[in-house]
Amino acid sequence: MLPQATLRKILYGSKGFRIRVPIASCTLAAGAEEVYRRVRRAVEELKLDAEVYTVGCTGLCFMDPWIEIAKEGQPPALYGNVKPDQVPQILKRYLEGDLSGATAVRFKTDSRDPPSLDELDYWRLQTRYVSRNCGLINPESIEDYVETGGYSGLKRALSMSREKVIEEVKASGLRGRGGAGFPTWFKWKVAYEQKSDVKYVICNGDEGDPGAFMNRLLAESDPHRVLEGLIIAGYAIGATKGFIFVRAEKPLMADRLEKAVNDARRAGFLGKNILDSGFDFDVEVYRSAGAFVCGEETALIAAIEGRSRPRQRPPYPATSGLWGKPTVINNVETLAHVATIFQSGVAEFTKYGTEKSKGTKMFCVTGAVKRTGVYEVPVGTKIKTLVFDIAGGPPEGRKVKAVQIGGPSGGCIPAELMDLEMDYESLQSYGAIMGSGGLVVIDDGNCMVDVAKFFTGFTLAESCGKCLPCRVGMKQLSNILEKITSGTGTIDDIELAQELGESIAKSSLCALGGTAPNPILSTLRYFKHEYVEHVVNRRCPAKVCAKLVKYVIDPALCRGCIQCAKTCPTGAISGSPGEVHRVREELCAKCGQCLIACPFGAIRKV
Amino acid sequence: MVDTVRVYVNGVQVEVPRNAFVIDAVEKAGFRVPVLCYLEGLFEEATCRICVVLVNGRVVPSCRFPVSEEAKIVTEGDELTRYRRTNLELLLSTHRVKCWSCIRKSNCSLLEVSKQLGIEGLPVCSECPLIGDECLITKGEPCLGPLTVAGCSAECPRYGAPCVGCRGYLSDPRIWEDATVELYRKYRVDVKEIEATMKFFWSNLPERLREVVTKGGKP
């Protein structure tokens, strides 16, 4: 999407030799810091005239940490899963023109090169619209962002009237990427029409779902895009101040956004009289202590005010929000979309997506897949495409059982419905939600009751405790699931869970409680047989629920090597060397250590 | 002139100020919804979710939801009763019911709403006017009031006769524990006597409940 000349300039840099090392929370966790140091040392040792360049992450988590070497005359090559010790070797071979060790190249110059990114399913099937700069530019450099067309959207927006800006967002059909899919323009319009001396815009970067990290990735890799979107939103509604609400437990994201704000202020994109338009606007990065409930907009507002609990809506924040003033809250990804729409036009955006939901969406695919990562695809892409073609499907010998979409507020979609096109309406009608876009792939080694119990436990812990159905109801639901998974449940418990879940969903105060029973309701909808199996036959079909499985030693396979007896932490395995061993069930803690220890595969779960 | 809106409560048309909440409209139309946490002017946070009503088909708390022009409000229905009951049951699930020693006695909105919604699980003590030194158990009588389902207006204890549990036993072991520890053991009521009074259902009683009494409050 970038013009070739700009792309080459960014890829090769001013020296014509650039080595990019991704520094983002995800790659740091995979050991990118050590790789970065080794690259610097190798460059010094080999006396290369190369720039070691910090970039954000591409979202291809499965190949973290990666490096990309680009020297004029040779195609830029990506090396995945780099170990620090391999760095000098990789560099030397690249300089010799040997690209065989590379995972991929940006573009091919020779047919013998490794595959180019565009030939690989996980890149080809993506539509990198908002994430176009991720892994390409230095997130801490405003120049890089401007180079790729950054802040041209802001310039265009400021040359238009406020109504026109809102009209343009309306024409794009952009809907909130944070979960509910509320039309962005509508929120803006309501806030714009309010008569108030002070208005606020808030960028919601709280992102707390297990299995979702696209906002963090986006803000760490391309923070200026988010900021630009926020300034445009501020202009559209006539706000004077913006907040970026970031979890303090994502320090790099907060630091980079803060740096972006400072750089933008210095460059004249923030502050008084922005670009001579007469529009005054400033942004503060607010670090929250981090609670799942703060993703809910009224709780987020309360958190900035110093309390942290949601309140009953209406009044909606667009009419009475932060300190009682009209406030627009948009998700990180929504704002990045806004900036991109204003940079490259509405037509480019509406090319993608379905009739009702336009554009692209970033999805995090985690769990039982070969290639975990953040992938951006048009809204309405089939789950199958994302899970199997892009993320590579489940590991060998495993089968996908379900996909949990939308985190703990979402629901699971069974494997039979993999042809479902992911947009807001279709997911909702099947009991899941788009949410922020986290997909946790669940394979046949998982028990669905256990999955529901996990997510219920999460929302139970994250419930703020303000309203009764969520506070007590989730506890009771979790008790019921505990009963079922420990084999003391009855068939009535299943019905009770269903009824209670529906009641909590309907009568809770905020969206957290309203969606918290979704994992239970959707697993009950598609996997009721597993629940029934737990309470009727007292059996866990996937052999996950500890209290319902037994470990037995197959006498035909046991050689009496005492490995299992040595590992058993509770001393539940008895038998002398050379004799067939036996598990004493009353002592067994069901930890499964013996299963790993047995060299003959004689221990089985039944 | 006050700015008003017209709403329909169960089909009854009323005019209320534009900034009123649904509950004001409901009251003006002559209907009532059960409320627990709502205290006008003091606490309007809509946390108990007992006062839910349907506004244009959406479940909302009436105490905090603003009225809108031509809104159709429904205050009763199977669905609403189900939510109210569930929420009240959830509230009671964390509440240690000790009506026999509670200072609020009959001046209790939890009891009132429970009765209104027909929630089971409250002891006869909740309806008994005797308390403190008046209580039959303090005199050593084997009254089964604390263990028996309420609903009889506590006719027997009211006239000095110990409750014999004719309405059936409460199934919540916590109430049994509290009653055993705080009443039977404290005032030295003999287990044999309780057993004898409980002849109606002692043999059908689940083992775990029987044990609570025989082991003196420790199941």
Q: What is the dihedral of CA B216, B217, B218, B219, to 10 degrees?
A: 100
- Any residues with CB less than 8 A from the CB of A205 and at least 6 apart, and which? A215, A216, A219, A226, A244, A245, A246, A247, A250, A253, A257, A331, A332
Chain A interface test: which of B22, B65, B86 (most A C-beta within 10 Å): B86
Of B61, B83, B87, the CB nearest to A312: B61
Residues B110 and B63 in one domain: no
Q: Which ranges of A463-582 would DSSP assign to H, the alpha helix?
A: 468, 474-485, 491-507, 511-515, 518-526, 528-536, 563-567
- Scanning every residue of chain B, which has its alpha carbon at the shortest distance from the alpha carbon of A509? B47
pLDDT digits (tens, 9 = 90+) for A115-168: 888 888 888 888 888 988 888 889 999 988 998 888 999 999 999 999 999 999
pLDDT of residue A255: 93
Alpha helices in A306-447 (DSSP H): 332-344, 346-350, 383-384, 424-429
Please report the pLDDT score of residue A244 as a whole number. 93
B interface with A, Cβ–Cβ < 8 A, is: 45-50, 52, 59, 61, 64-66, 79, 82-83, 86-87, 90-91, 93-94
Q: Tokens at residue A473, please? A: 């109801």
Domain borders along chain A are 4-124, 150-348, 360-443, 448-536, 550-605
Which two tokens mark B59? 């479940």
Please state which CATH number belongs to domain A360-443. 3.10.20.600
The DSSP secondary structure of A118-129, one letter per residue, reads GGSHHHHT---S
Does the CB of A509 have a partner CB in chain B at under 8 Å? yes
Which residues from chain A sit within 8 angstroms of residue B65, using beta carbons? 312, 314
pLDDT digits (tens, 9 = 90+) for A170-211: 999 899 887 778 899 999 999 999 888 899 999 998 888 888
| Number of domains chain B contains | 2
Q: What is the Cα–Cα distance from A548 to A540, expressed in whole angstroms?
A: 6
Q: What percent of chain B has pLDDT over 70?
A: 97
Please state, as a whole number, how many other Cβ atoms lie within 10 Å of the Cβ of residue A569.
Answer: 9
In terms of domains, do B56 and B21 share one? yes
Q: Give the integer Cα–Cα distance in Å for A401 and A396.
A: 14
CATH architecture of the domain A550-605 equals 2-Layer Sandwich (3.30)
> Which stretches of chain A score pLDDT less than 50?
none
The 10s digit of each residue's pLDDT in A83-105 is: 988 888 888 888 888 888 888 88
Cβ neighbours around A418 below 10 Å, total: 17
Do B133 and B68 share a structural domain?
no
CB-nearest to A507 from B49, B64, B66 is: B49
Rounded distance between C-alpha atoms, residue A466 and residue A307, angstroms:
12
- Do B108 and B203 share a domain, yes or no? yes
Answer whether residue B202 shows pLDDT above 80: no
Q: B119 and B205 share a domain? A: yes
Determine which of A63-77, B63-77, B106-120, B191-205 has the lowest per-residue pLDDT on average.
B191-205
Ramachandran angles phi, psi of A582, nearest 5° = -140, 140
Fold designation for A448-536: de novo design (two linked rop proteins) (1.20.1440)
- pLDDT at position B172: 83
Verify that B124 and B207 share a domain, yes or no. yes
Look at residue B94 and tell me if it is in a domain. Answer: no
State whether B83 and A507 contact (CB < 8 Å).
yes
Q: Which of B62, B85, B108 is the last residue of a domain?
A: B85
How far apart CA A522 and CA A505 sit, in angstroms, is 12
Residues B73 and B123 in one domain: no
d(CA A313, CA A32): 44
Contact indicator for A195, A345 with CB cutoff of 8 Å: no
Domain endpoint, select from B34, B63, B85: B85
Question: What 3-state class would DSSP assign to B58?
Answer: strand
Task: Spell out a b/e string for A544-565, using b for 16 or more CB atoms within 10 Å of the CB, else e.
Answer: bbeebbebebeeeebebbbbbb
pLDDT at A12: 87
Burial profile A182-200: b = 16 or more Cβ within 10 angstroms, e = fewer: eebbebbbbbbebebeebb
Residue B93 with chain A: CB contacts under 8 Å: 472, 476
Flag whether pLDDT at B219 surpasses 60.
no
Contact B45 A466 (CB under 8 A): yes
With the CA atoms of A74, A80, A84 and A85 taken in that order, what torsion angle do they form, in degrees rounded to the nearest 10?
Answer: -70
Q: What is the DSSP letter of A435?
A: T
In this structure, the answer to whether residues B116 and B203 fall within a common structural domain is: yes
Domain spanning A150-348, CATH class: alpha beta
Q: Is residue B46 part of a domain?
A: yes
- pLDDT tops 80 at residue B40: yes
Number of other residues whose CB lies within 10 A of the CB of residue A101: 15
Nearest-angstrom CA–CA distance, A477 and A469: 11
Q: Residues of A with CB below 8 A from B46's CB?
A: 312, 467, 509
Instruction: Kindly report the length of chain B.
Output: 219
**Using alpha carbons only, what angle is made at residue A473 by residues A470 and A478, rounded to the nearest 5 degrees?**
110
Task: With respect to residue B93, please indicate whether it lies within any of the assigned structural domains.
Answer: no
The domain defined by A4-124 carries CATH number 3.20.20.70: no
Whether A468 and B91 lie within 8 Å, measured CB to CB? yes
| Subunit contact A509:B91, Cβ cutoff 8 A | no
Range of the domain at B29: 4-85
- Give chain B positions within 8 Å (CB) of A508: 49
Q: Please indicate whether, in this complex, the C-beta atoms of A499 and B86 are within 8 angstroms of each other.
A: yes
Same domain, B20 and B60: yes
b/e string for B65-99 if b means 16 or more Cβ within 10 A?
bbbeeebebbbeeeebeebbbbbbbbbbeeeebbb
Instruction: Give how far B64 is from chain A: nearest CA, Å.
Output: 7
Q: How many CA atoms lie within 13 A of A253 on its CB side?
A: 27
Helix axis angle, A223-237 to A184-193, nearest 10°: 40
Q: Examine residue B90 and state whether it is found in any structural domain, yes or no.
A: no
- Chosen domain end from B85, B118, B151: B85
Q: Is residue B63 part of a domain?
A: yes
B91, part of any domain: no
Look at chain A and count its residues. 606
* Same structural domain, B210 and B103: yes
Contact predicate B213/B180, CB 8 Å: yes
List pLDDT tens digits, range B125-175. Answer: 888 888 888 888 888 888 888 888 888 888 899 888 888 888 888 888 888
Work out the mean pLDDT of chain A and round it to a whole number: 89
3-state helix, strand, coil in chain B (%, to 5): 40, 15, 50
- At A251, give phi and psi (nearest 5°): -65, -35
Which of A467, A499, A504, A507 to mutate against chain B (most B CBs within 10 Å)? A507
| Residue B21 shares a structural domain with residue B106 | no
Using a CB-CB cut-off of 8 Å, the residues of chain B touching A476 are 90, 93
Query: Is residue B116 exposed (0-12), middle (13-18) or buried (19+ Cβ within 10 Å)?
Result: middle
| Residue-wise burial string across A119-131, b where 16 or more C-beta atoms lie within 10 A, e elsewhere | ebebbeebbbbbb
Do B103 and B79 fall within a single domain? no
Q: Is residue B49 part of a domain?
A: yes
The secondary structure of residue A131, as a DSSP letter, is T
Write down the pLDDT at residue B94: 86
**What 3-state DSSP class applies to A21?**
strand
Range list of β-strands (E), A371-480: 373-378, 400-405, 411-414, 438-443
